[in-house]
Structure 1
Amino acid sequence: MVDASVETITVRGNSFGDYKNDHARGAMRADIPLLNTPQSVTVIPEIIIDEQLATTLREVLTNDASVTGGTTFWNRETFNARGFTISNDGYMRDGHQFWAYYVPPIETAESIEVIKGTSSLLYGKTSPAGLINMVSKKPTHERFVELGFDFDSNGSTRYQVDTGGRIDEEGNFRYRAVGVKQDKEFWREYANGENVERDRWLGYLNLEADIGEWGMFSVYYDRTDDKAGNDSGVWLDADGNVVGDRRTAWDMPWAVFENVVDNYGADLTVYLGADWQMKVGYNHNEFNRHRFDSSPSVGSYNSTSGTYSISPFSRFDDWQYTSQYVDFTGEFSTGSIEHNMLIGANRLEYFYQQSRDNNLPEDFNTTITIGQPLPARPDLDYRRVEPGTPSEWEYYGIYIQDLITLNEQWQLLVGGRFDKQKKVENVNQDAFLPRGAVIFHPNSDASIYLSYSEAFTPKGAIDNEYDVNDGHELDPELAQSWELGAKWELNEGRLLLSGALFNTEVTNFSYSEETGNIIDGETETITTQGGKQRHRGIELSAQGQVSQNFFLMGSMMYLDAEYIDHPNGELMGFTPVDAPEWSAAIWSRYQVNDQLALNLGATYEGDRFANDSNYTFDDVDIFSNDIVKDAYVRVDAGASYRLKLARSEVNLRANVQNLFDTEYLGGGAMGSRGAVSVSEGRTFAMSASVAF
């Protein structure tokens, strides 16, 4: 029971020791220290996000070497972890899964948790890559306002306000609000000289109330309006070199993506005595996207004539994703053995519907000649056509987990989950998923663990009219994962060292290959299923305070990823796209004095493949096997200065991104559309904020 007489103390501001977090609630769905969590977890705190002037989740996740970026076209972000693609079900806000088919806002997050490996026991429908949990900023007892402004050498600007505090004098009612206005100028430009741009608004409000001494209730709402020109990426030749000018986007300047995302929900915590709690949560995520795409096709590119084709269309996508959960967590003892128990259930509902108009005027010229005037935007409107057939499914599971403390040295984790997905009438898929681990503590500051877990990913039917096997029912995708790891706290708990050996095997995976045919402006594919994919490797990391003035967050990964079996044999021995053998990342801070701090960071990614199968197109001369994106090292630097003015604190920051102007290729695979991102050159950014 909560004692209302206990004084609440709130501490705000970026303590220099905040490079390290001791907990990651998303990893165990309970308040369990990382030393007792038998899984590799990285927590990227707000102070590092602020120091790097990060504006996207992609920029934040570069701090974890196990995460590599995927494609960025269609005004969205995708990622791989340990060489596996993080599925659209693999993104969470405070433990609620949401449909992350866009650029999720990071200004509302106080930390980002990267939970690696299979986590299906607690969340169900997830990929073996892991999960990204965005921990939201919460209401505070202390009243504050923070105003911020930043800009870069491309002409981008971002205005921010972050405010919170108690509503009543007693602090029983509290709030947190965030507002953002961003105008992003990208360095790449269209053939007519116009720059690719992005215009984004964000609003967030969280209200929290104590319910006497027995509980707490919160409601929240956030909205993102995000409009951006499309940049489908660069095209590569057979040697992995960029075709044409690195600055030029092949899309038309009138190709635009408009995303409107509404997210709202409520959470209730009930204190069931001194040792037990019940948590109930609801979240609804509605994502509407208007995609007016020019859809340039690399499959039609002719280097001799300097021509390629486009296939414009107007399309509206309506995604709705609802999650609910109820958790009971508590502690009890059986004799000398202690238990930290979790019993819960969750449910997901998914709805999707599309409207599409690709009825081009007869006189519209779909052939683009490089250096010649571009065609005007065609008269297309998705509202003229009837919406397509909705796709709906529901997914639910019940789970139990027990962290058993046998003595000061030994702990056991045991758990299981029953999962079921229902997509359409009489199409059901279910599974039982076990999880187990042994944890040994050689002393109070260290742990060694061995864990085993499984993942179950229902697939349902192929829902793509441009796929040869459209309508064919796919079996569930299964994964098994082993992990042997160790964690060690040093420097009186201010520095955490960790490492893990992992082995994950996925069976019955589905794989789509492009046939080279274009039908109604879309690429024809053929989807098959079966085979086995194995990813194994080692991770090492260090995070926290090394000395009185030096702080760092660093990690590295060695990865051996390959297809060890495949139905048609084509992928046998191949390495998946964007799965580097070696990768590393570091970000550091040296505190010169109470006002001045210096930052230095670097990111390394080894050679990566831009294709994992053979692409063949008639009359195309830029494709061959093994398109490799070369290894690179990118270095960033920065400095900050803070000063007190009366009751206010002012923070000034200057950063240099890609200090040595390194050219490299980012995430994405080559296909008929082209989707490989390319590095930006040296960029300068500055910011100023005042808190009072």
Structure 2
Amino acid sequence: MQRDSTDNFRPQVSILSTTTAIPAPPDARGNWYPGTTLVQKDTTVASNIEFDLTDWLTVYAGLGYRDGSNDQVFPSSSPAVNALGNFTVRNSYYDSYTRTTSGMAGTRLRFDTGPVRHAINVGFTGFQQEAGNAYIQSAGSVATNIYRPSRLPAITAARTDPTKASETTLTSVAVADTMSFLDDRLLLTLGVRDQQVTLKSYSTATGAMTSKYDASATTPLAGLVVKPLENLSLYANYAEGLSRGTIVGAGYANTGAVLAPFKSKQYEAGVKVDWGTVTTTAAVFQISKPNSIRTASNDLAYDGEQRNRGLELSAYGEILPGLRAMASATFLKPELTRTAVAAEQGNDAAGVPDKTFSGSLDWTTPWVPELSLNGRVIHTSGSYLTAANTLRFDGWTRVDVGARYSADIGGKPVTLRANVENLFDKNYWLTTGTYVTVGAPRTVVLSATVDF
């Protein structure tokens, strides 16, 4: 069981899609919504079991339940923030709950057919969730500014308990066989999955069902790993999946609605090389999914497809005795296809950066072997405000530093850590498109870990 209570948390704010310029990010220590509150409660119970019936047959099962709720004062911007940082804020109670039950069961079977080793997995998964909310808005709104925020308007309507807004049921049965050839130098996985998604939406005012979606799909999966050398692996995989539609959150005219289920596709191929003390990887991929937009009537809806094609590069390991490094880079093309607006065809999806870089070092000092110093640099390129691709957020770079000290204290292994995130206290937007928030300011994090 867990309970968290936060005062003056900062939800995202919406930037006007027709703005003439993106406003500069405000001081990250401020809050354009002063007076917000959030109370999160969570109770989770989970268990699983696995049993080897023989040396070639294993059965397993698991069951979990989660009861969670959020009670929050959750403002929204309407109209949204303009180029000068001005907007209108309306306050609301946005309380919600979810009750989720999930389970799985299956068996793993291992056997040989001549020179081929088989590892077959047959599995069932199930998921059932009831979600509800109560969205009570203030009668009026007030003019405000992200740099000089006004007090939130009072909510005069009575706060009510959340009522059921949706029911989701997901079931999946999958069979996969991983075949091993040539002493595990060639691994081939083939499988198939049958999925069923049922979504029901309910009016939180009357309890009546407002919509229902039933969708099913039988989808393939395939994977190949080739090891031509002991330290070299080449791989490729393909998978399809059926996902439930997005449950629309606060800030939209269709808050609480459940969008239709959708099928996603993923392709990936890559190479991994173990050089001894350093490992490098490179991968290309493509992931397709529906593109979400805010309509003229302020609804969240799908419009065409977002096709992400990219390249990921990474390297990690010990480059010198006592000096460890990790570096990664991602290059992405988040292209829009089959859009309703012809001019947006081929544009980048809103809020998706096309380049991200990360590099870190961890050094064990020779004069105090128990002490390690570390640093990290993260860079994210800019991204577009809307699918029209007329305005673009600036990219940002963040520097973190830290230290770690490990020793035995009182006969117990103890690790002390001190980290400074955003060392240079840079202000920058974190964005998913028109919805934005500000990255955390310079933050000092202290922690201690003790093994008993």
TM-score, normalised with respect to structure 1: 0.57
Q: Does the 8 Å CA contact 2:365/2:371 hold for their aligned counterparts?
A: yes
Change in Cα spacing, 1:589 to 1:510, as seen in structure 2 (3 Å) is: closer
Alignment of 1:180-199 (within 5 A): none
- 1:463 and 1:665 mapped to 2: Cα distance? 21
Residue matched to 1:338: 117
Number of aligned positions between the proteins: 434
Name the counterpart of 1:268: 49
- Give the alignment of 1:497-516 within 5 angstroms: 497-506=280-289, 509=290, 511-515=292-296
Q: Say whether the 8 Å CA contact 1:323–1:349 is kept in structure 2.
A: yes
Query: Does the CA-based 8 Å contact 1:609-1:628 persist in structure 2?
Result: yes
CA contact (8 A) 2:22 2:83 kept: no
How far apart are the structure 2 equivalents of 1:317 and 1:469? 12
Match of 1:284 among 50, 65, 69: 65
Aligned to 1:456: 242
Structure 1 equivalent of residue 385 of structure 2 = 610
Q: In the alignment, is residue 484 of structure 1 matched against residue 269 of structure 2?
A: yes
Q: Name the amino acid aligned to 1:374.
A: R
Distance 1:313 1:470 in 2: 15
What's the offset of the Cα at 1:234? 6.0
- Which structure carries more strand by proportion? 2
- State whether residues 401 and 416 of structure 1, in contact with CA within 8 Å, keep that contact through their aligned partners in structure 2: yes
3-state SS of 2:80 partner: strand
Q: Which runs of 5+ in 1 are unaligned?
A: 1-221, 518-523, 614-624
The question of 1:311 aligning with 2:87 is answered no
For residues 290 and 576 of structure 1, the distance between their equivalents in structure 2, rounded to whole angstroms, comes to 32
1:176-221 CA distance string (max 9 Å, x none):
xxxxxxxxxxxxxxxxxxxxxxxxxxxxxxxxxxxxxxxxxxxxxx
Q: Classify 1:295/1:377 alpha carbon distance in 2 versus 1 (closer, same or farther; 3 Å).
A: same
**Deviation for aligned residue 1:465:** 12
Q: Hey, what does 1:366 align to over in structure 2?
A: 141
Please tell me whether residue 242 in structure 1 is matched to residue 6 in structure 2.
no
Distance (Å, rounded) in 2 between the aligned partners of 1:563 and 1:376: 39
Contact 2:196 2:215 in 1 (8 A): yes
Structure 2 Cα separation of the partners of residues 246 and 235 of structure 1: 16
Deviations 1:573-614 (A, max 9, x none): 22113322221112221112431211121111112223334x
Q: Which residue of 1 aligns with 2:439?
A: 679
The residue aligned with 2:217 is 431
Q: Is the 8 A contact 2:94 2:250 kept in 1?
A: no
**Paired residue type of 1:480:** K
Instruction: Provide the C-alpha distance between the structure 2 equivalents of 1:274 and 1:406, rounded to a whole number of angstroms.
Output: 21
* Corresponding position of 2:371: 596
Answer whether contact 1:302 1:308 (CA < 8 A) is retained.
Answer: no
Aligned to 2:159: 382
Secondary structure at the counterpart of residue 312 of structure 1: strand
Q: Which residue is equivalent to 1:10? A: none
For 1:432, what is the secondary structure of its paired residue?
strand
Distance 1:263 1:226, change over 3 A: farther
Alignment match, 2:305: 532
SS class of match (2:340): coil
* Contact 1:234 1:243 survives alignment (8 Å): no
CA contact (8 A) 1:534 1:564 kept: yes
Where 2:168 maps in the other structure, the secondary structure is: strand
Cα offset for 1:466?
6.2
Query: CA 1:418/1:256 → structure 2, altered by over 3 Å: closer, same or farther?
Result: same
Q: Is 435-444 or 233-242 further displaced after alignment?
A: 233-242
Retained in 2: the 8 A contact 1:235–1:242?
no
Supply the AA of the counterpart residue of 2:220.
P
Q: Distance in 2 between matches of 1:548 and 1:601?
A: 19
- The residue that corresponds to 2:279 in the other structure is 496
The code of the aligned residue for 1:309 comes to T
Asked whether 1:644 is paired with 2:428, we answer no
- The C-alpha deviation readout for 1:275-320, integer Å capped at 9, x for no partner, is 32211011112221112223243537695xx964332222321112
Letter in 2 for 1:589: D
Q: Can you give the 5+ residue segments of structure 2 that lack an aligned partner in the other structure?
A: 201-210
In structure 1, the residue matched to 2:173 is: 398
Question: Structure 1 residues 532 and 687, CA, compared in 2 at 3 Å: closer, same or farther?
Answer: closer
**Distance in 2 of aligned mates of 1:226 and 1:572:** 44
For 1:541, the equivalent position in structure 2 comes to: 314
Matched letter for residue 151 of structure 2: L
CA contact (8 A) 1:656 1:682 kept: yes
Shift of 1:252: 3.2
CA distance in 2, matches of 1:317, 1:564: 34
User: Which residue of 119, 136, 139 maps to 1:357?
Assistant: 136
Q: CA-atom RMSD, angstroms?
A: 3.3
Task: After TM superposition, give the deviation of residue 401 of structure 1 in Å.
Answer: 1.0
Q: How far 1:566 moved relative to its partner? A: 0.9
Cα distance in structure 2, aligned partners of 1:644 and 1:267:
35
In structure 1, the partner of 2:346 is: 573
User: Which range moved further: 458-467 or 321-330?
Assistant: 458-467
Between the aligned partners of 2:25 and 2:320, the Cα distance in structure 1 is: 48
Instruction: Tell me the distance in 1 between the aligned counterparts of 2:222 and 2:242.
Output: 16
| Corresponding residue for residue 413 of structure 1 | 189
The CA deviation at 1:339 is: 1.0
Percent of aligned pairs with the same residue? 20
Secondary structure, counterpart of 1:561 in structure 2 = strand
Q: 2:33 aligns with which of 235, 251, 262?
A: 251
TM-score normalised per structure 2: 0.84
Q: 1:571 to 1:469 in 2, by over 3 A?
A: farther
Aligned residue in 2 for 1:667:
431
Q: CA deviation at 1:375?
A: 5.8
| Equivalence for 2:204 | none
Give yes or no for contact 1:423–1:460 (8 Å, CA) kept in 2.
no
Deviation at 1:342, TM superposition (A): 1.0
